[in-house]
A = this chain, B = another copy of it.
Amino acid sequence: MANFSDQELDSSASAGNGLLSRRQWLRLGAGGAAASLVAPVWAAGGTSVEPWRSGSGAPPSQYGDQPSLASLKREQISAHPFGPQAGASSTPLQFLNGTITPNGLHFERHHSGIPEIEPSAHRLTIHGLVKQPLSFDYEALLRYPMVSRVLFMECSGNSYRNTFTTVLDETAGGLNGLVSCAEWTGIPLHYLLDEAGLDASATWMVAEGADAAGMNRSVPLSLATSDAMLALYQNGEPLRRSQGFPMRLLVPGCEGNLSVKWLRSLKVMNQPAHTREETSKYTDLQLDGVAWQFSLRMGVKSVITSPSGQMQLPEKGVFEISGLAWSGHGSVRAVEVSADGGRSWTEAVIQSEVGKHKPVRFRIPWRWNGQPAVLQSRAVDSAGNVQPTRSQALQNVAPGFSYHYNGIQSWRVNAEGRVSNVHA
């Protein structure tokens, strides 16, 4: 993370169809890179002045709320026909780089829209199998010791449309954008549970939101007392309303639905509550007719975000392949990339910090020779899990049931440089 020496950034080796180490990329010199020579322009004296250099621009502002590109927006906004408040929006992964998702582009999934909560009137209650029920207001919670962690959050249903038989020609974000990454700051949940005092028989808690849906989920206490936090800040600022202001539960590594927004109640129990969202939904129906319940951790996964669906490569030459990788079972240990549809693989560079449930950005240079190619990435996590192919991921799953899908995403580049989703 400090100085970036070329050695440090180098991938271990290159593979077929144009994948390069950074060292190999550097050896290409000016001919292989993308600059155009400037000498003639310079010789002409450069008398033209762009309009933005000939007069002052806008002054400083109170809250800068405009992205620089009009095309930079959440996509695949889906809504229930009878209630548009129950819907989702996806992070446009193909426009982003690095690991952080800006708050304005974090994916959304609401069950009854975004409540306009007045923080001073909001309470978090801890009750059930506790020695002393407790109620916390927002101002009191701001006084507690906190922690900050960069974490991915992924909807259980992310990428589900890649399980369809029909191949959809969409963007990386449209297909896989129900995943986002942020630096979350909040109170380790066990501080609050310990204060209430857990009964010896307690094994689960039910978390409920203050939205009109009263969205609720059962969380094993083993998760709640180890890794979970009561999140109050996202990327530095108090939570956006769309992300649970004034407070949300955060269960790192687990399906996003578990991180209940607008958290108002934690009821400690000795069994799960079998709420609607863990019985009629978010279960995994297997081919043998058995439905898996509470398969909460999101699997090891990666997506190449550039080049990706609907992009157009302008010409033959060198491009950086880059993408995101994450795992609910630990940290990302490595990401391999293939440019020949999985026949050969080479390890990409992970240049950002690696940590538990922390998303990473992987990168590798690629020289496109103008021929069709299929680009794939495959993540491996610290628990030894390897991201499966699409067919491996769907092997035992009943058709149409597709939560927790983590199959490899394949992008085809055709001879014209057009990039599109394929099932490979």
Give the B-binding residues of A (Cβ under 8 A): 1-4, 9, 22, 25-26, 29-30, 33-39, 41-42, 50, 52-69, 72-75, 77, 79, 83-89, 95-106, 108, 110, 112-118, 121-123, 125-127, 132-137, 139-141, 143-149, 181, 183-185, 188, 191-192, 194-197, 210-212, 214, 226-227, 232-233, 235-242, 245-246, 314, 317-320, 322, 331, 351-353, 355-356, 358, 361, 363, 365
Contacts and interface: CB of A to CB of B under 8 A. Distances in A.
Nearest to A122: B50
Contact of A113 (B58, B115, B116, B322): B58
Nearest to A364: B145
18 contacts: A25-B145, A30-B195, A37-B133, A39-B132, A42-B133, A61-B242, A62-B77, A65-B104, A66-B240, A68-B241, A97-B146, A98-B233, A100-B183, A105-B237, A143-B318, A145-B363, A146-B363, A353-B355
Q: Considering residues A88, A104, A214, which has the most beta carbons from chain B within 10 angstroms of its beta carbon?
A: A104
Given A61-B74, A148-B351, A235-B100, A38 B361 contact: no
Nearest to A127: B42
B30 A144 contact: no
A356 B2 contact: yes
A60 B89 contact: yes
A42 to B, nearest CB: 6
Given A57-B110, A100-B100, A145 B63 contact: no
Contacts of A97: 146, 148, 185, 232-233, 236
Contacts of A211: 52-53, 57
Contacts of A356: 1-3
Contacts of A238: 67-69, 72, 95
A89 to B, nearest CB: 4
Contact of A135 (B29, B38, B54, B237): B38
Q: Considering residues A57, A95, A241, which has the most beta carbons from chain B within 10 angstroms of its beta carbon?
A: A57
Contacts of A87: 59-60
A373 to B, nearest CB: 16
Contacts of A75: 62
Contacts of A196: 30
